[in-house]
Structure 1
Amino acid sequence: MLTTTALLLVTFVNADNCICMDNRAYCGSHFTKTCGLNSTDLYQCVTRGQPPVRRFSCPNGCHKSDSQSASDTCVPDDISCTCPDNADHCGSVLAKQSGKDCASLDPNSLYQCEGEGLFPSWRWTCSTGCISNGPGVNDTCDKGASNVVGLTKIKHIVIFMQENRAFDNYYGILGGVCNYKDPNAMVQDNGNSIFYQPDPNSPDKHNGVNSSLPWMITGPKAGCTLGGSNFWQGNHDAWNNGSNNNWPVGNTPNSLGYLAPSNLPFYYELASQFTIADKYFESIMGSTNPNRLVLWTEILEKAGITWRVYQDIDNFDDNALEWFEQYQKSTKMSPLRVNGIDNWGLDSFFGHAMNGTLPQISWVVGPTELSEHPDNGPMAGQWLTQQVVNAIKNGSSWEDTVLIINYDETGGFWDHYPPPVAPIGTLDEWINVDGAAPIGPGYRVPAFIVSPWSSGSVVFTEPSDHTSVIMFIEQWAMANGYSPEDVMCPYVSTYRRNHMSDLTRSLDFSQANLSVPDTTPMPMPSRDPSGSWDPTEECEAVPGPFPTIPYGNQTFPVVEPGFKLVRGNNPGLGRTYVFQSGAQALIQNGKSIAFGPPSPTMTNPVQYFTMTMASNNNDDIGDNIGYRIVANNGRCLSGAGQLVKCDQNADNWFLLDLGNSEGFVFYNIPKGEYLQYAGTSFFLSNQIATTFAVYSV
């Protein structure tokens, strides 16, 4: 269970002469005493012209670098623990150096090295382990190997980014995803679940605290009801230094609103036909424009990859390329103008998709009132999304096309799941302007992967954000023979490359479904007499008030029944799982696991398991990575199928997705072996033999 008690506190430095001139890390003693900094703490300069941000204290003292380019560092327990080169390295790699005592370093953390003989500096802990990539090469957190085996089958990638919806605003009650039944929901310092947001204006109390719950937006004006503020300040005030419990006060009670399935008929149907990503985050904890800057087309142009942005004259100013001088001043026949900012029109996209003449990479930008940006409603946006899906799915290139549907940001609507922000002071991930704050990732937004290899009612669980789309295109391009030097985007931060998915495991290349039936047709949105779209005005003109939070009559949201097949390495927190192997389902049998007949509706509670974060109670290697797997009787999976008390003696596990219909395996971290079943018993083995289909219920 997540708690807010261990969250890092932001340190503000306000001394006038404590100003950063570069982006290095410095000991507090580097600055003058009037800065008020602790001399033995390490500070990171994240924003030039602003004060540094405190990263952490240095128990052995802080070492000032003699180099004019390298950062200061904390002194390790043993001063012989120095770096071999200027690459990032796992603690386990540094500990293996001959003649150097780095045993005190966390083997599963990544350390930054800025030169041979310098002290390593902690970056972050890798919750799924740290892997060595060789001398002089950056080590990385272990996200699992990219699923590149079938990327050559893809000839077209289409990206359609809609506007301003949080995941919970659309899918908080959708079954089979990380929803309002989250078994690992954060617990506030006041003891209440994160769903009970402190609200001094609410007459409703929970455990003595005035609180507001997520509330269903209903009535004829549900679709055109506004949320809260989508701006930087409102989002960060609501985030509340990681507590995520200041939405009614820091933003607005309207932020807690969510829509019913009756307002999202196409999207619920789409979620039953294809893959929904329930851990897809906005890249920036802020508004539209910074999140839409992930349109990196110049790299494609230089690499010789064909691309185009499809838009009408009305594009809601959502084509970020139009904001830049090189596009604005490009010549009439320049590829930057022709493919980047000319108005090809959505009808051209539909036609090119149908006849198979799309470029290799396409972006679709919708008009204002079909964008779903509150108060523009989801019904009109669903009609447009359905046209995009149908044009691709019924077109002549469906067999080799992947469509990624995502949303730029949350629109000021809340999401219960905490954003996976980088450790405080991480370069490229934090900023210090009027106080230190994380740039992102921000809150979850809806995302779908629509393709012949992502059909079925599937949930993709790997942490992702807009940079994941970039990394997906990178992997696709390299698999198709393009040089990494030509296609790797230099603007994706080290943190995102270590922690965000490249989406490749959302695809199952072992099978392609080319006959997905059409969804129920959405009604075409209305137009005004001039022919312009006007569904928003039509909604706003409906008699009666807009819905508001039902103070005095609040009830906890009821999640729709349902389940989804899971894809993604180490699916982790936020869901309840059922594990099936062949014609059997894993069950808890008191103090051990066993196999029993599966439940067709996934409603047998003895088959329910959850995952919690690894314990860190021992000094054993591997005790701070992976997950505990918890049966519905509250006992933890350990050893060869035992269920034990969830204390420091319980084992940690990886749940590894082998990909392409090969299933998942349970990997016991302390023993370094896989859970197997043969005859009538479970045992651990260094061979993979027993695999599972995993479902989220």
Structure 2
Amino acid sequence: MFLLSTALALLLGSGPVSAGSLRDIKHVVIFMQENRSWNSVTTNHVQYFGTMAGVRGFNDPNVQVNPDGLPVWYQQVDPDMSNDTTTLLPWYLGYQGGNSTDAIQCMAAGNNGYEESQASLNGGLNNHWARNNTPWSWGYFKRDDIPIHYAIAEGWTAGDMYQEAQITSTNPNRVTLVSGSVNVPGGPQTPDQGGVYIDNTVTPGCDSYNINCYPLKWKTIFEIYEEAGVSWQVYQDKDNFDDNPLARFEQFQNASSSSPLAEKGMAYVGLDSFYGAAANGTLPEISFIVGPAELSEHPPYMPKDGAWLQKKVVDAVTSSPEYTSTLLMISYDESGGYGDHVIPFHSPEGTPGEWMEDPYGIFGKLYVGPGLRVPFYMVSPWTRGNRVFTERADHNSQILFLEQWLTARGYKNVQTPEMVHWRREHMSNLVNALDLDHPDTSIPKLPEAEEPEMSSGSYVGTANCEATYTEPRPPVPYGKQNVTDSLFFEEGYKECVGYLTEGRYLVFEKSGYALTNTGNTTRLSGTAAHKDHSDKKQRWVVHYSSGEESQIFKLSSALDGKWLGPRGTLLPADRRNNAAEVKITFRGNGHGYDLQYVNSTTIALDDQGEVRMNATKGSEDGYKVWSVTYH
């Protein structure tokens, strides 16, 4: 919280006059797609981006190892599934080659519902995706399957610790995006305001368990912004997959056709209106895009069709005369039945508004969210350049960003009282993803997107795919896997921005040098940095030491497992308990990171590559930190 508050103070004007500001942003575009996880295709980071270079994916050095001695890569396989193996590793869905890579575009994996998702997480062991969902839930895509997604994420900034807000299906997650809650007991709402909303129900009243009471009656962010005088518009066509979350709220359902809630939140103004406003430079301050069903990427709707829509939106934003003052955030509502290897970051047991007794009587006490990682990337001049944003975030983070931004622009009373308190206190506000001092308006060249098939005015690509491939799901490779092929990842790097979290190999560079473990040595040193940041001697792993949110870590060398000790010493791999605690602070706005022992001794690299202790921290920039993936 201190880091975020400090960053915000700088952004709001306490820094140099020449520094950038959140005020430089005039337009924010929010675009949420459907049902993919990070690992699966790297749409949901692992399903979509688990193989991508420089992110927390299949090269995770901090992966959870369960009490049975197995990392969560190994999912349980029961005899009724196969007698050829007892575990299933992640697997490339197009492993058969040929037409199979076309078929998997229109395949569905598993179930994204509350019950199946909680059962797959298995109380935090996270090892029942194949057993309690489907074995296809543990499959993934590669770059060639979703080249547009990769290009957008790599052209700007991807967040690899962005989580779905609720461990369940579409509607609760989209409701959170526009209100900050699903009304779990103990939160800001009262029981008569609807919920606990953990299902996609749109049937008036409560269900047989006396939950999912509908419609919802608490206040959305857009009502708050309307009262504050902020301009906004939902852009949707009549084919919107019923994905407009404002339609879940009674006040929007009952709004008169001439009211702002109806005209801005419920009207079918069309996506063409968005493209036109972007081209004319007349977008409102907040644009909210809801795409058509066939382009939503909700399985079996195809990623490549969704990619065409994503590129169309990105092109509209980047070719706008207002691109120099526009930020586009692209996210996915939930995981779509695809799994992820990272155990969700969540609140302590009993946190009000977060934990409840399972209403179905299956799981006991549980947290409703945040849940699995989903794909998230930010397109703007302040996020340009193949970077990875490493802070813990969820759909509430987009609200938190809007609040910070609108406040910087002089608006009053834009903070929603409806957000669950724990989320407000612990989810990133995304500000650190932006380098406001060094905007870059260059545009990366994106691949051409294949236009979706149409017939008689309707999208028919998925229907044609399903007609061509009556069983698009490939055979599960039980007993035929090896770790190298299964945990495939691309080689490369990304620059880190935001406070650091576990899950990556990191290179710390400054003044043309990098912190190094040369091997047969007992001291940290500095050696010349490499353009591709590939030297294993310069690779480090951070490990939480004083709590997951303290920003205090112990550092180990990827070369031989040695630990960083006091005053630059290197300790043997078996002396973790004696490793030093290091505070890593993100300065923000392109100024890098500071490394400091908890006793305040700074770890500095001078312009000759010498590691120095007790150096007085000057005004010069800190370390650049690179997240690298190399074999």
- Check if 1:337 corresponds to 2:262: yes
Q: In 2, distance between residues paired with 1:331 and 1:278?
A: 41
**Residue of structure 2 in register with 1:292 after alignment:** 174
**Residue of structure 2 in register with 1:487 after alignment:** 414
Measured after TM superposition, the shift of residue 144 of structure 1 is: 5.8
Task: Return 5+ residue gaps in structure 1 as ranges.
Answer: 1-129, 132-140, 617-621
- Check if 1:472 corresponds to 2:343: no
- Check if 1:648 corresponds to 2:577: yes
Q: In 1, distance between residues paired with 2:167 and 2:434?
A: 28
Partner-residue secondary structure (3-state), 2:423: helix
Q: In 1, distance between residues paired with 2:568 and 2:233?
A: 53
Large movers: runs of 4+ above 6 Å: 622-625
State how 1:131-170 maps to structure 2 within 5 Å.
145-146=7-8, 148-149=11-12, 150-168=21-39, 169-170=47-48
What is the aligned-residue identity percentage? Answer: 37
Residue of structure 2 aligned with 1:257, choices 129, 139, 146: 139
Q: In 1, distance between residues paired with 2:11 and 2:416?
A: 18
- Check if 1:586 corresponds to 2:515: yes
Q: Deviations over 1:420-479 (max 9, x none)?
A: 121111111112122322110000000001000100010000000000000000000111
Measured after TM superposition, the shift of residue 690 of structure 1 is: 6.5
Q: Are 1:572 and 1:627, in contact at CA under 8 Å, matched by a contact in 2?
A: no
1 or 2, which has the higher helix percentage?
2
Q: Are 1:639 and 1:684, in contact at CA under 8 Å, matched by a contact in 2?
A: no
Pair 1:232–1:574, CA change in 2 (3 A):
same
Measured after TM superposition, the shift of residue 554 of structure 1 is: 2.0
| Paired AA for residue 118 in structure 2 | H
Measured after TM superposition, the shift of residue 545 of structure 1 is: 3.2
**Residue of structure 2 in register with 1:695 after alignment:** 626
Residue of structure 2 aligned with 1:367, choices 268, 292, 300: 292
Q: In 2, distance between residues paired with 1:142 and 1:513?
A: 23
| Paired AA for residue 165 in structure 1 | R
Partner-residue secondary structure (3-state), 1:410: coil
Residue of structure 1 aligned with 2:604, choices 666, 676, 694: 676
Partner-residue secondary structure (3-state), 2:614: strand
Q: In 1, distance between residues paired with 2:270 and 2:127?
A: 43
Q: In 2, distance between residues paired with 1:335 and 1:490?
A: 21
Measured after TM superposition, the shift of residue 504 of structure 1 is: 0.4
Measured after TM superposition, the shift of residue 517 of structure 1 is: 3.4
Q: TM-score, normalised by structure 1?
A: 0.76
| Paired AA for residue 649 in structure 1 | N
Measured after TM superposition, the shift of residue 265 of structure 1 is: 0.7
**Residue of structure 2 in register with 1:604 after alignment:** 535
**Higher RCO (CA 8 Å, separation ≥ 6 residues):** 2
Q: Deviations over 1:80-139 (max 9, x none)?
A: xxxxxxxxxxxxxxxxxxxxxxxxxxxxxxxxxxxxxxxxxxxxxxxxxx76xxxxxxxx
Q: Deviations over 1:184-222 (max 9, x none)?
A: 0000111011101111124454xxxx1001111111211
Residue of structure 1 aligned with 2:333, choices 400, 404, 408: 408
Residue of structure 2 aligned with 1:538, choices 451, 464, 476: 464
Partner-residue secondary structure (3-state), 1:327: helix
| Paired AA for residue 413 in structure 1 | Y
Measured after TM superposition, the shift of residue 625 of structure 1 is: 6.4
**Residue of structure 2 in register with 1:562 after alignment:** 492
Residue of structure 2 aligned with 1:315, choices 240, 243, 256: 240
**Residue of structure 2 in register with 1:180 after alignment:** 58
Q: In 2, distance between residues paired with 1:184 and 1:204?
A: 29
Measured after TM superposition, the shift of residue 647 of structure 1 is: 2.9
- Check if 1:639 corresponds to 2:570: no
| Paired AA for residue 309 in structure 1 | V
Q: Are 1:623 and 1:652, in contact at CA under 8 Å, matched by a contact in 2?
A: no
Q: Are 2:524 and 2:568, in contact at CA under 8 Å, matched by a contact in 1?
A: yes
Q: Deviations over 1:15-74 (max 9, x none)?
A: xxxxxxxxxxxxxxxxxxxxxxxxxxxxxxxxxxxxxxxxxxxxxxxxxxxxxxxxxxxx
Residue of structure 1 aligned with 2:77, choices 174, 177, 199: 199
Pair 1:676–1:463, CA change in 2 (3 A):
same
Pair 1:643–1:498, CA change in 2 (3 A):
farther
Partner-residue secondary structure (3-state), 2:454: coil
State how 1:620-631 maps to structure 2 within 5 Å.
626-631=552-557
Residue of structure 2 aligned with 1:511, choices 438, 447, 467: 438
Q: In 2, distance between residues paired with 1:198 and 1:144?
A: 45
Q: In 2, distance between residues paired with 1:289 and 1:427?
A: 21
**Residue of structure 1 in register with 2:103 after alignment:** 221
Measured after TM superposition, the shift of residue 143 of structure 1 is: 7.6
Q: In 2, distance between residues paired with 1:350 and 1:518?
A: 20
Task: Return 5+ residue gaps in structure 2 as ranges.
Answer: 13-20, 40-46, 95-99, 179-220
Q: TM-score, normalised by structure 2?
A: 0.83
| Paired AA for residue 447 in structure 2 | T
Measured after TM superposition, the shift of residue 317 of structure 1 is: 0.4
Measured after TM superposition, the shift of residue 316 of structure 1 is: 0.2
| Paired AA for residue 288 in structure 1 | T
Q: In 2, distance between residues paired with 1:260 and 1:644?
A: 39
Q: Deviations over 1:488-543 (max 9, x none)?
A: 11122221122210000100012122221341220110112x21112111211224
Q: In 2, distance between residues paired with 1:327 and 1:440?
A: 26
Task: Give the stretch that moved more between structures: 633-642 or 331-340.
Answer: 633-642
Q: In 2, distance between residues paired with 1:516 and 1:603?
A: 27
Q: In 2, distance between residues paired with 1:284 and 1:599?
A: 41
Q: In 1, distance between residues paired with 2:5 and 2:292?
A: 37
Measured after TM superposition, the shift of residue 615 of structure 1 is: 6.2
**Residue of structure 1 in register with 2:375 after alignment:** 446
Partner-residue secondary structure (3-state), 1:317: coil
Pair 1:204–1:631, CA change in 2 (3 A):
farther
Measured after TM superposition, the shift of residue 599 of structure 1 is: 2.0
Q: In 1, distance between residues paired with 2:351 and 2:611?
A: 47
Higher Rg: 1
Pair 1:615–1:508, CA change in 2 (3 A):
closer
Pair 1:319–1:643, CA change in 2 (3 A):
same
Q: In 2, distance between residues paired with 1:677 and 1:558?
A: 34
Alignment: residue pair count: 545
Q: In 2, distance between residues paired with 1:487 and 1:179?
A: 36
**Residue of structure 2 in register with 1:236 after alignment:** 118
| Paired AA for residue 631 in structure 1 | S
**Residue of structure 2 in register with 1:98 after alignment:** none
Partner-residue secondary structure (3-state), 1:676: strand
Q: In 1, distance between residues paired with 2:479 and 2:604?
A: 53
Measured after TM superposition, the shift of residue 177 of structure 1 is: 0.1
Partner-residue secondary structure (3-state), 1:459: strand
Task: Give the stretch that moved more between structures: 259-268 or 361-370.
Answer: 259-268
Partner-residue secondary structure (3-state), 1:422: coil
